Amino acid sequence: MNPKELAVAVMNGQPVEKLPFMPITMMFAADRINVPYRRYATEAALMARGQLKIAEEFGAAQISAISDPGVEAHDLGADIGFPENNPPYVNEENALFADKAALVGAKTIRPESGKRMSNRVEAVRLMAEAAENDRLVEGWVEGPCAEASDLRGINRLMTDFFDDPSFVADLMDFVTEQAILFARAQIRAGAQIVGIGDAASSLIGPDLYAEFSVPRTKRYINAIHDEGALVRLHICGRTEGLAPFWKELGADMIDVDAGNSIAAIREALGPNVSALAGNLDPVREVRDSLPSAIAKRLNACRKESAPRFIVGAGCEIPRDCPADNLMAMKHFADNLK
């Protein structure tokens, strides 16, 4: 099996003789090709080059268009900062919907007409062209709570859940409509799996998650599956309390962040729902660790998340991670015992 076939087999619950390695690399990839991160995040050709280099050097099963949470927000009109060598960021003090009335009449935009969304679509196209069906090409969209936070400001949104839940519902519906358009554009450009990044959902607790995020995330996933692509759900932070709701979502792959019990999440899901990836601490257990310790932790994760496990860290690989440590993860994936 090539790396793509291996990843799909694990997500489908098929027996395999080795595991796919699917790390999230952004700043690490930019540094690997010696370009400032601002250029990596905003120039499709550089993103594709960086991801292809990671795949070639470290055997990653996917090449990904993930870059930063400000892509959709930028094209909708949000105030985005662009540091020279760090990720773009949303200026929440000047949030697009700081005034709730601004949502009235707000319209989604076609991804091809947005500067940054069209850049990501182009990155996906270039990756698909170069991958030759050997690696999974991964698109990316912001999840409903994450993007609502970007457009409203996270502190305002957290208050809105209690002060004006109908506004939150309207905002998340708007976000969902835009994300589905964006996901479809990436799939039609060649993405075979789409990541949904929804870190802010880890902050709202199980009850609000079930009421607001779950039904809209389900709409994302259904739309992506309807286009023939797979889904990677990525929620940073403490997520064990959310895991019981993941069973109904149908994501093909779920990243488990550091600090969670991957065994508890597998128990909540059952053996036949979603491949789990992770959940090593990217700094303490990957960057600052030793190859032997990395292998030991991954083996524990594999056993706890069986039968469907994908090798990765809990979140993004740090830009200054030693290459030997990343290679140790790939070596573990290739040498099951």
The ranges assigned to domains in the chain are 3-334
Closest CA to 142 of 88, 210, 94: 88
CB 124 within 8 A of CB 184: no
Three-class DSSP category at 146: helix
Query: Angle at Cα 298 formed by Cα 314 and Cα 31, nearest 5°?
Result: 50
For residue 337, the model assigns a pLDDT of: 66
Handedness of CA 230, 125, 219, 92 (dihedral sign): positive
Q: Which two tokens stand for residue 155?
A: 């502190």
Distance CA 24, CA 283 (A): 13
Q: Which residues contact 159 (CB under 8 A, 6 or more apart)?
A: none
Closest CA to 68 of 115, 111, 120: 120
CB 81 within 8 A of CB 89: yes
Q: Which two tokens stand for residue 254?
A: 């779920």
Below-50 pLDDT ranges, the chain: none
Helices (H) and strands (E) in the chain, counts: 15, 9
Distance CA 75, CA 55 (A): 29
Answer whether 0.85 is exceeded by the pTM: yes
Distance CA 138, CA 268 (A): 26
Cross-strand pairs, 64: 138
Top-tier CATH class for 3-334:
alpha beta
Distance CA 209, CA 302 (A): 27
**pLDDT per residue as tens digits for the range 249-275:** 999 999 999 999 999 999 999 999 999
* Beta strand residue intervals within 12-98, DSSP E: 62-64, 80-81, 89-90
Give the burial string for 126-149 (b: 16+ CB within 10 Å, else e): bbbebbeeebbbbbbbbbbbbbbb
